[in-house]
Amino acid sequence: MFDKDKYLQYLGFSGTPDASLETLRKIHREHQMRIPYDSGYALDVNSSGDALGLAQASFDLDAAFETIVLSGRGGICVELNFMFHRLLVELGFDVQVLAAATLLPGGVWGPEVEHMVMRVTIDGEDWLADAGHAGISIVEPLPFSGETRVQDGIEFRLTRREEYYFLEYRTRGKGWRDSYRFLPQTRTTADWARWRDALPREEMVAHPRRRRRVIDNGQVTLTANLFLTVEDGEERLRLIRDENELEKVVSTYWR
């Protein structure tokens, strides 16, 4: 069952939490260090050998908390941010759920209701929160004002283009890149449930497996056997060809 105190304990939070920017920064970072993005469960198969895919994505708060947090499985964006949103609400934050579309290979945008993010308002200022992205993403909340913030060597900013907000990032030696875009329209989990249920069966299977975790001075992602590290703002991409090497990477960062 969802338990705010157990959640905070799992995140290593000590002291008395309040609805402040300092608290949000701490739990936002720790959430991504301790609870990974991992789409591996979507590759599980049923008794007939069929991949279960996103049909397993849980919007049952209690079940998701037990599986994703307490058991250490991790999850995908809608599950991770679904739970993080509930934690923020219970801590007294003014928070709204928003839907984002990620930038796909080839420069094509995904569906409007795909990725889940949050807008948190503190002392009249809006902040972007996202504890469940699969790619390079913010480690701490980012202001909606458009101000550039450096987080573990990576530059991030929100820009407004017509009706959309765009999350942009820049690593060392590279130009600005788009990560995702979103409208400032409040959503509910029912929007993602409808999106999931409307997907063709072949699109519900999360293949290849994607993993991400924040580390002390950066973040790491693993997409199939492509291992990306971003440390102090510097990207290093490595193709892992050996099963033993892959197991070493997984055991180092995702166990």
> Which positions are catalytic?
77, 115, 130
Q: Are residues 120 and 184 in contact, defined by beta-carbon separation less than 8 angstroms?
A: no
If you ran DSSP here, which 8-state letter would residue 135 be given? Answer: S
User: Strands 94-104, 115-122: parallel, antiparallel or unpaired by DSSP?
Assistant: antiparallel
- Of 206, 240, 186, residue with least CA distance to 54: 206
If you ran DSSP here, which 8-state letter would residue 217 be given? Answer: T
Question: Six-digit token pair at 180?
Answer: 């995702």
- Of 62, 129, 120, 125, residue with least CA distance to 92: 120
Q: Is 46 helix (H, G, I), strand (E, B) or coil?
A: coil
Report the distance separating Cα 194 and Cα 198, nearest Å: 6
Angle ∠(160,88,132) on CA atoms, nearest 5 = 60
Q: Are residues 169 and 156 in contact, defined by beta-carbon separation less than 8 angstroms?
A: yes
